Amino acid sequence: MHKYDYSMLRGRIRELFGSEKKFAERLRKEEIAMSTGTFHSRINGYSYFKQPEIETICLILKIEFEKINTYFFTRKYEFNS
């Protein structure tokens, strides 16, 4: 399973909602009805975001669709020292 860097996504969430918890509460009210637990599982890399979830998140956070790769598919690399 690839690990993705969601730091830009986390920053945008904090910028508009103040916290991931408040944002997760908003997602429960959307058509995708994502639970708080599912959101935290996805953003912490335990499972992947689904396409409808990405689309809804981009709409809520006003992320341009051209920037989806930056927010959702930037690989996290771990370096061995």
Tens-digit pLDDT profile for residues 23-53: 999 999 998 999 999 999 999 999 999 999 9
Q: Where are the domains of the chain?
A: 7-72
pTM of the model: 0.89
Q: Are 64 and 8 in contact (CB under 8 A)?
A: no
Residue 1: per-residue pLDDT:
67
Contact, 20 vs 40, CB < 8 A? yes
Count CB atoms within 10 A of the CB of residue 49.
Answer: 21
Is residue 81 predicted with pLDDT exceeding 60? no
Instruction: Return the amino acid letter for 66.
Output: E
Cβ distance 35 to 42 under 8 Å? Answer: no
- Given pLDDT bands bounded at 50, 70 and 90, which one contains residue 76? confident
Per the document, the length of the chain is: 81
